[in-house]
A = this chain, B = another copy of it.
């Protein structure tokens, strides 16, 4: 594979008027549409209206695009979890609630990248590294749940790791139906999910 750095005069060749962010966004759309493994750099070039050679001026490889997409999702989720953990003036319940709320916002803001992350199955070093980061985040979130239970903020008749899986399963399932231009606002979705998870559906 040719990288832009290996080309002697990349800037003199035909550079279509699309920036790296556009290339990345279109790549993620295509990976989600037809699968990362089934997508070639030729497919992406065609979608962008580039020659394959012009595409390689923008990005060194398909794996590089995957890496940047997964980083986008994982960096965002890591910030959400770190911010919740850092707020030591709050109760564990408040930190957990904040982590859930902000995870929903992050997921909707970065829907294509998070969708791609959730489909990763470990078929390459980049995917394995992403799965490892996801497991670390899951462990930190499970820890928040355990702290909220230990503190007496949430029910203790369900094991904390099961609560954590159900909670983040519900958050992650949003990628199956939320659309950026959907008629339900992100705030409404985040409020509803958080209310259902903590207060429950029963009328009071």
Contact = CB atoms under 8 A, between A and B. Distances in A.
Interface of A: 35, 38, 93, 152-159, 162-163, 165-167, 169-170, 172-174, 176-177, 184, 188-189, 192-193, 195-204
26 contacts: A35-B35, A93-B202, A153-B202, A155-B201, A155-B202, A155-B203, A158-B195, A159-B192, A162-B184, A163-B201, A165-B177, A166-B173, A166-B193, A167-B196, A167-B201, A169-B170, A170-B170, A170-B173, A172-B176, A196-B197, A197-B200, A197-B201, A198-B201, A199-B200, A199-B202, A200-B201
Contacts of A155: 195, 199, 201-204
Given A35-B35, A152-B203, A155-B199, 11 more contacts: A93-B202, A155-B195, A155-B201, A158-B196, A162-B189, A166-B192, A166-B196, A169-B173, A172-B173, A196-B197, A198-B202
Contacts of A158: 192, 195-196
Number of copies: 2
Nearest to A202: B198
Contact of A169 (B157, B177, B199): B177
B203 A163 contact: no
A195 B157 CA distance: 10
Contact of A176 (B157, B169, B195, B203): B169
